Amino acid sequence: MTRPNFLFMIADDHRHSALGALGAEAVSTPTFDRMISQGTCFTQAHIMGSTSAAVCMPSRGMLMSGRNLFDTPDPLPEEVPLLPELLRDSGYTTFGTGKWHNRRGSYARCFNESGRVFFGGMNDQFAMPVNDFDPAGKYPPEETYIADGYATTVFCDDAIDFLNSREPDGEPFFAYIAFTSPHDPRTPPAPYDNMYDPAAIELPPNFLPEHPFDIGVRDIRDEVLAGYPRTEDEIRRHIADYYGMISHMDMDIGRVLDTLEARGLSDNTIVIYTSDHGLGVGQHGLMGKQNLYDHSMRVPLIMRGPGIPAGMRSSAMLYLHDLYPTLLNCAGVDVPATSAGHSLANVLNQLTTKHRKLIFSAYQGVFGHPERRPYQRSVKDGRYKLIQTVVDAVETWQLFDLAEDPWEQWDLINQPGNNRLINQLKACLRKRQARSNDPLVTEAETR
């Protein structure tokens, strides 16, 4: 059996709804829309959350290791096999380029070829500090230099060079492009910097000048990118620039896919596009992703290629790290026992429309004294979402009916008649915390 190639592309801060074909936001994404028509779009893909204000780091760590949030330390443990590492060891050529926020040593374990790589969380898109590939994984600081060009284009150019070196009948490959877009600073290049008129931007239904209560993130870097209270004009400007970066990335990804086609590689390549997390940009009065609302926990996920149904939209609830066993299954590689991901094979084979019954999410930005550290926890059963927030020992609960209120605008926690539902969801939350090794809840507390 011919094993498929993989072209895996992951953005930074691209929320689930910012795809033109989905009709929720007025952003132009012709490449993504074409991928959706040719493949499968998962509309309920989530990350499990974060133990850091830099949400991208544990998110990408979970993806690479297949492990749950509280079992994904930094640095990634050497005894846990990483996705590209397993593919490389089974005969794949593995290529990486772009952002790597999970330490230099783990990058060397994953890839045997590479374009320019950025070891960090964020930077000026026009002046990205990068390194050339070092198989030894050392990357001394004196060898870092500024890439000549806009980061998205630089990384796509390197991927295109790699694809141009491949032959249709060559050994299988895993090519990984990790973008720094549409992360701030939101500076789309011309002409995308003027593609969207801020005055014409429609604010999301859940726009608020400020969040209705303190969730413990008010002063972090992401949240001070806009003033308090948020003004409509300022948020429109942020959204316009955010859309401009997404549309530019969409165009550059189109160049990569065109190269894949021109090289005769498309028919045997599974293409994946996703993001490490979403972003608020004014929703609920929040700018960042350090929260458990859907705009931050849900991500786009598009798959296209051999064995992937065309034109299918799946509402199966899943985690991003479910891709770990899914891709290993596609490659015929055994899934390690360390994996907590659940393969999407049955959904892709159209044997079921369901995947996970519950989605547990957590945000823990600051670890310190247990009685003072702020935290958020949530559980979602497909229709209802329950969120717990604790800041300075003050506990706040929220309940949303996502079927009637997908923008999470109407908190039902104090609505009469909901006590039984709330207690059921609280019990589910505690059990999921224990199953996920959440340090805030012991197994004994859930019995």
User: Three-class SS string for the chain?
Assistant: CCCCEEEEEEECCCCCCCCHHHCCCCCCCHHHHHHHHHCEEEEEEECCEECCCCCHHHHHHHHHHCCCHHHCCCCCCCCCCCHHHHHHHCCCEEEEEEECCCCHHHHHHHCCEEEEEECCCCCCCCCCEEECCCCCCCCCHHHCEECCCCHHHHHHHHHHHHHHCCCCCCCCEEEEEECCCCCCCCCCCCCHHHCCCHHHCCCCCCECCCCCCCCCCCCCCHHHHCCCCCCHHHHHHHHHHHHHHHHHHHHHHHHHHHHHHHCCCHHHEEEEEEECCCCCCCECCCCCCCCCCHHHHEEEEEEECCCCCCCEEECCCEEHHHHHHHHHHHHCCCCCCCCCCCCCHHHHCCCCCCCCCCEEEEECCCCCCCCCCCEEEEEECCCEEEEEEEECCEEEEEEEECCCCCCCCCCCCCCCCCHHHHHHHHHHHHHHHHHCCCCCCCHHHHC
pLDDT at 443 over 80: no
DSSP label of 283: B
Q: Would you say residue 47 lies in a domain?
A: yes
Residues 215, 109 share a domain: yes
pLDDT at 200 over 60: yes
Residues 364, 295 share a domain: no
pLDDT confidence band for 137 (50 / 70 / 90): confident
pLDDT confidence band for 132 (50 / 70 / 90): very high
Residues 400, 338 share a domain: no
Q: Would you say residue 353 lies in a domain?
A: no
Residue range 90-100: mean pLDDT, rounded: 97
Q: Would you say residue 115 lies in a domain?
A: yes
pLDDT at 192 over 50: yes
Residues 92, 135 share a domain: yes
Q: Cβ(289)–Cβ(220) under 8 Å?
A: no
pLDDT confidence band for 442 (50 / 70 / 90): low
**Of 348, 374, 401, which marks where a domain is finished?**
348
Residues 82, 41 share a domain: yes
Q: Would you say residue 354 lies in a domain?
A: no
* CATH code: domain of residue 51: 3.40.720.10
Residues 420, 315 share a domain: no
Residue range 398-423: mean pLDDT, rounded: 97
pLDDT at 367 over 80: no
Residues 384, 305 share a domain: no
> How many structural domains does the chain have?
2
State the residue for tokens 């011919």.
2
Q: Cβ(80)–Cβ(86) under 8 Å?
A: no
Q: Which segment of 35-49, 131-145, 231-245, 282-296 scores lowest on mean pLDDT?
A: 131-145
Residues 339, 381 share a domain: no
* CATH code: domain of residue 427: 3.30.1120.10
Q: Would you say residue 327 lies in a domain?
A: yes
Residues 378, 339 share a domain: no
Phi and psi at residue 231, in whole multiples of 5°?
Answer: -100, 155
Give the pLDDT confidence score for residue 207 in this predicted structure: 98
Residues 422, 332 share a domain: no
Q: What percent of the chain has pLDDT over 70?
A: 97
Neighbours of 35 (CB within 10 A): 27
> Residue 445: helix, strand or coil by DSSP?
helix
Q: Would you say residue 9 lies in a domain?
A: yes
pLDDT at 370 over 60: no
Give the pLDDT confidence score for residue 444 in this predicted structure: 42
State the residue for tokens 């931050």.
296
pLDDT confidence band for 136 (50 / 70 / 90): confident
Give the pLDDT confidence score for residue 150 in this predicted structure: 98
Give the pLDDT confidence score for residue 374 in this predicted structure: 87
Q: Would you say residue 118 lies in a domain?
A: yes
Residue scoring higher pLDDT (371 or 23): 23
Of the candidates 314, 235, 431, the one whose C-alpha atom is nearest the C-alpha of residue 43 is 314
Residues 324, 365 share a domain: no
Neighbours of 404 (CB within 10 A): 9
pLDDT at 269 over 60: yes
Q: What is the mean pLDDT of the chain?
A: 95
Q: Would you say residue 82 lies in a domain?
A: yes
Of the spans 99-108, 316-325, 437-446, which averages the highest pLDDT? 316-325
Residues 372, 324 share a domain: no
Of the candidates 172, 208, 253, the one whose C-alpha atom is nearest the C-alpha of residue 10 is 253
pLDDT confidence band for 446 (50 / 70 / 90): very low
**Of 316, 348, 380, which marks where a domain is finished?**
348
Q: Residue 103's Cα: distance from chain center in Å?
A: 18
d(CA 94, CA 89): 10
Q: What is the pLDDT of residues 44-60, one digit of tens each?
A: 999 999 999 999 999 99
pLDDT at 368 over 80: no
Q: What is the pLDDT of residues 24-44, one digit of tens each?
A: 999 999 999 999 999 999 999
Q: What is the pTM of this model?
A: 0.96
pLDDT at 124 over 60: yes
> Residue 238: helix, strand or coil by DSSP?
helix
Radius of gyration for the chain, computed over Cα atoms and rounded to the nearest angstrom: 21
Q: For residue 367, what are the domain limits?
A: 359-446
d(CA 426, CA 441): 12
pLDDT at 102 over 90: no
d(CA 285, CA 207): 6
